Amino acid sequence: MRTITLEEHYATPGFLDGPGKDLRDRAARFGDRAAKLLEQLCDLGEKRIAEMDAAGIDMQVLSLTSPGTEQLYAAAATAIAREANDRVAEAVRAYPIRFAGFASLPTADPQAAVAELERTIHEYGFKGAMINGHVRGRYLDDKFFWPVLERAEALDVPIYLHPTQPPKAVIEASYAGFSPVVSDMLAGPGWGWHIETAIHVIRLILGGVFDRYPKLQIVVGHMGEGLPFMLQRLDVMPMAMTNLKHPISFYLRQNVHYTFSGFNFTPTFLDLLLEVGVDRIMFSADHPYASMAQARAFLNQLPVGAADKERIAHGNAERLLKLI
């Protein structure tokens, strides 16, 4: 069974000198485990391929690791995005059947982001873009960013919306008051990342993005960032209130795709499956932050039939990303 994973991360020297400096600092402070993580992020060659082979992963769609470029001002974001995209293009050229790319964009400058999206799609054959959450506190429902969304729809490529830390005011209001390590984890991978991303998707819907760009497709990870559990409850806001063309649940089933990215939890998967259907679910491992081998083992034991497992493992990604 062919396998394609969609949330697989890398880092570049320019990124580690800028927004990813904390990753490099942690590698220096916290020893072998953090150093190994940094090594895996920076490797887009034979070692990564060997790890993929050992885990049974045929293709990774590569994306610049969080926090990406979204917390930078425009000029710095443009330089780092271009360096990152050029690095991925080299890897894809070297291993065209093993790697594909999601573009990093200087989202703070929508016109530059549009130009970079077009460059990476047309010159490099990238399959979409990854945006790491809010842009210095501004969300993509802000019409300032709509040129990027418009061009993604026109190019028929998805945007992967990845978690980032909530804005500082949200962290202070909702996640402070504990030990620093607890507050950091609560605002991040323990809870806040996922709620932040779910709110971002809801803002896109309520902001009318999908009524304006009905063919636009968004991808979110972590089995839906909590959205499937709340999907039907969101329709307590009726169309007469929202002024949308459809109920909120419609957009979550028609404009959003969902990946695993480390959430190897059968009950969570079953909820997602029941709410959105098998054609909206795609495999991912969240390398190197989570185990590719564990993700593949979880995929193998999914309580679905063989045909549905094939869709999740590779078929849905092939269709969305035009990988066939």
| Identity of residue 164 | T
Strand bridging mode 218-220 / 159-161: parallel
| 215 token code pair | 């063919």
281-282/129-131 β-pairing:
unpaired
User: d(Cα 242, Cα 249) in Å, to the nearest integer?
Assistant: 12
Could you tell me which of 182, 127, 185 has the C-alpha nearest to residue 158? 127
Q: How far apart are CA 136 and CA 298, in angstroms?
A: 36
In angstroms, the CA 223 to CA 197 distance is: 12
- Dist CA 242 CA 237 (whole Å): 7
CA dist list (Å): 133 to 74, 266, 298: 16, 26, 27
22 assigned to active site:
no
Annotated catalytic residue within 109, 141, 286, 308 = 286
Question: What is the radius of gyration, based on Cα positions, of the chain?
Answer: 19
Contact 116, 85 (CB under 8 A): yes
Give the helix, strand, coil percentages of the chain, each rounded to 5: 55, 10, 35
* Residues pairing with 286 in the sheet: none
Q: Which two tokens stand for residue 41?
A: 């992020």
Query: Would you state the torsion angle of the CA atoms of residues 224, 202, 113, 59, taken in this order, to the nearest 10 degrees?
Result: 10
- The residues annotated with a catalytic role in the active site are 286
